[in-house]
Amino acid sequence: MKVIGGSASKLLTQQLIEQPGFEAVDMVTKRFPDTEFYVKINEDLAEEDIVIIQTTYPDENLIELFLLQDAVSRLNPGSITTIVPYFGYARQDKEFTNGEAVSARNLAKHIGLLSDKLYTIDIHNISIMDAFGKDAVNLSGMPAIGEYLANEDVDAILSPDKGSKDRAALAAKSAGCGWDFLEKTRVDGSTVEMKPKNLDVDGKTVAIVDDIIATGGTIIKAAEQLRSQGAKRVIAACTHGLYTGGSIPKLKGSCDLLFSTDTLESETSKISMASIIANALTQ
């Protein structure tokens, strides 16, 4: 398969084309002095199956994806598969208040227009997959995160809330350990306690797994609480390390280990999603 990697997913694309059966498309990209994006594909892609990989965060990378799709579609390919490793705007997945844009569904619809098939990875809310309007599959980084955690001798994997417990369960299955979710209880007007629903963490090594770490607030609060309940080591792992406001130092100060996948490329990207994507594309 021929692969086009956008600038937000360079490392992941590099890892993918190192897998058997994948090769990079010859193309030129640049930014004009006003920062607008330009792409020219230098190959005949007629009847070829093309894979485009691009994380759509921040906004400029979404525009880049649209233009990559446009350039490919003009060359009469056999098919276009779009892979969005981190789908930006995923958390604006419903009209929380009347009058708001439902950003996730709107962007999914537009990304789907020039695609025959799509893949996302640990999308925040699976219910928006139908908005792509095409065959769209959500892959997960949680089994790979679990495998990584197996080498850290974790006793339990926790999700920050009940709604994301399936991710903890999936990671724990690969790690071969127990799992639970953190339950919030209001203690008084200003105190909320976060505690595993069933497990006792006293003296244990625990990992909190989440789809996204942004400000780090959720993880830092959870780590603080777990330590006060006696946890010996607290590890934080996520699929998408967004780290808004430069939250890595604060997170590192609060957790014994912090890591993520390469859906968003950063110093914490210890796990590549390339082989998972390659398997999905070739099965």
Q: How far is the CB of 35 from ligand R5P (least distance, A)?
A: 28
Interaction site with ligand R5P (CB under 6 A): 160, 164, 210-218
Q: How far is the CB of 242 from ligand R5P (least distance, A)?
A: 7
Q: How far is the CB of 213 from ligand R5P (least distance, A)?
A: 5
Q: How far is the CB of 221 from ligand R5P (least distance, A)?
A: 8
CB nearer to ligand R5P: give 121 or 274. Answer: 121
Q: Is 40 a catalytic residue?
A: no
In 3D space, the residue among 146, 161, 2 whose CA is nearest the CA of residue 79 turns out to be 2
CB nearer to ligand R5P: give 143 or 217. Answer: 217
In 3D space, the residue among 66, 57, 116, 112 whose CA is nearest the CA of residue 90 turns out to be 57
10, 165, 184, 250: which one is catalytic? Answer: 184
Please give the single-letter amino acid code of residue 237. A
CB nearer to ligand R5P: give 4 or 90. Answer: 90
The CA angle 195-88-274, to the nearest 5 degrees, is 85
CB nearer to ligand R5P: give 24 or 214. Answer: 214
Alpha carbons 280 and 282: distance in angstroms, whole number: 6
Residue 193 tokens, joined: 């306690």
User: H/E element holding 251?
Assistant: helix 248-254
Q: Is 155 left (phi over 0), alpha (psi -120 to 50) or beta?
A: alpha
Give me the sheet containing 156-159, strands edge to edge.
191-196, 178-188, 156-159, 205-213, 233-241, 257-261, 269-271
Q: How far is the CB of 267 from ligand R5P (least distance, A)?
A: 17
CB nearer to ligand R5P: give 69 or 225. Answer: 225
CA pseudo-torsion sign 124, 125, 131, 132: positive
Q: What are phi and psi of 15, to 5 degrees?
A: -65, -35
Catalytic site positions: 184
